[in-house]
């Protein structure tokens, strides 16, 4: 068959970045299940096998996407913590609030980030981004432990409680499973504001 002599045919320029951008667009607009390699390839005018050069396979692409998401989230959390000042509780709430806001803005991406079965969790890019994100929570918990001379198990439980609460609340919300809850709330109370009250139920820090 005729070969199309398009100079850009063999060198898209920045296909890798374009694929990631298009994948994120699809994921956040139509959900993780709507994403396919063939779909994003066609959208960029490239054949279905092109992504393999840059990402190997689908989990490979998703891993890079997730790692990027984790990094961006961690950056925003770091900024929020900085702005929150020295108070430990303020800092913890800033981390949680920022996560939730990010999850509302990018529900598909956050869903992907927490779905180990769709990515290669062991990739350095993900492990490092994950560690960076966890470091902030650990720092707060450690300071609190030192200040209150807490038993190490209690300190670990506080860390885990905050993580579980952030993850649980965000996922329940994204999944639409807090609908009845919000229906019973006062008019005008936003999910963000309610999350602050929920966080206050935790006895930490």
Residue (35 or 65) nearer to DNA, CB: 35
Among 175, 187, 188, 192, binds a second copy (CB under 8 A): 175
Min dist CB 96 to a second copy, Å, is 11
Cβ pair 136, 77 in contact under 8 A: yes
Cα(93)–Cα(199) distance, integer angstroms: 7
**Of residues 8 and 117, the one with the C-beta less far from DNA:** 8
d(CA 79, CA 86): 13
Other CB atoms within 10 A of residue 46 CB: 16
- Answer for which of 18, 114, 125, 139 binds a second copy (CB under 8 A) is 114
Rounded CA-CA distance 186/103 in Å is 23
- Closest separation between CB of residue 12 and a second copy, Å? 31
Site string for a second copy, 14-33 (x = CB under 8 A): -----------------xxx
Cα(196)–Cα(73) distance, rounded to whole angstroms?
19
Among 160, 188, 190, 192, binds a second copy (CB under 8 A): 160
Beta strands in 62-106 (DSSP E): none
- The entry of DNA, a second copy, none near residue 11 (CB within 5 to 8 angstroms by kind) is DNA
Binding segment (CB under 8 A) for a second copy, from list 6-14, 17-25, 37-45, 158-166:
158-166
Which residue of 21, 32, 43, 58 would you call a contact of DNA, by CB under 7 A?
58
Peptide bond into 193 cis (omega under 30): no
DSSP string, 114-159: T-GGGS-TTSHHHHHHHHHHHHHHHHHHHHHHHHHT--HHHHHHHH
Contact of residue 72 among DNA, a second copy, none (CB under 5-8 Å per partner type): none
Query: Are the CB atoms for 114 and 171 separated by under 8 Å?
Result: yes
d(CA 89, CA 145): 13
Q: Which of 21, 52, 171, 198 binds DNA (CB under 7 A)?
A: 52
Nearer residue to a second copy within complex by CB, 8 or 117: 117
Residues that bind a second copy (CB under 8 A): 31-33, 114-117, 121, 134, 152-154, 156-161, 163-169, 171-172, 175-178, 180-181, 184-186, 189, 194, 197-198, 200-204
């Amino acid at each position: 068959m005729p070969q199309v002599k398009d100079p850009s045919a063999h060198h898209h320029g920045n296909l890798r970045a374009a694929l990631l951008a298009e994948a994120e667009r699809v994921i956040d607009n139509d959900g993780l299940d709507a994403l396919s390699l063939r779909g994003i390839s066609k959208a960029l005018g490239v054949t279905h096998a092109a992504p393999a050069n840059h990402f190997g396979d689908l989990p490979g692409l998703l891993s890079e996407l997730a790692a990027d998401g984790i990094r961006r989230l961690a950056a925003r959390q770091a900024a929020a913590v900085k702005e929150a000042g020295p108070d430990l509780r303020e800092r913890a709430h800033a981390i949680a609030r920022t996560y939730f806001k990010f999850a509302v803005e990018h529900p598909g991406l956050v869903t992907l980030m927490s779905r180990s079965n769709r990515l290669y969790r062991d990739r350095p890019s993900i492990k490092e981004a994950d560690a960076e994100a966890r470091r902030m929570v650990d720092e707060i918990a450690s300071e609190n432990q030192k200040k209150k001379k807490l038993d190490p198990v209690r300190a670990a439980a506080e860390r885990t409680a905050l993580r579980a609460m952030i993850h649980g609340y965000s996922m329940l919300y994204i999944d639409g499973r807090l609908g009845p809850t919000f229906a019973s709330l006062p008019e005008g109370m936003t999910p963000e504001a309610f999350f602050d009250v929920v966080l206050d139920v935790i006895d930490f820090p």
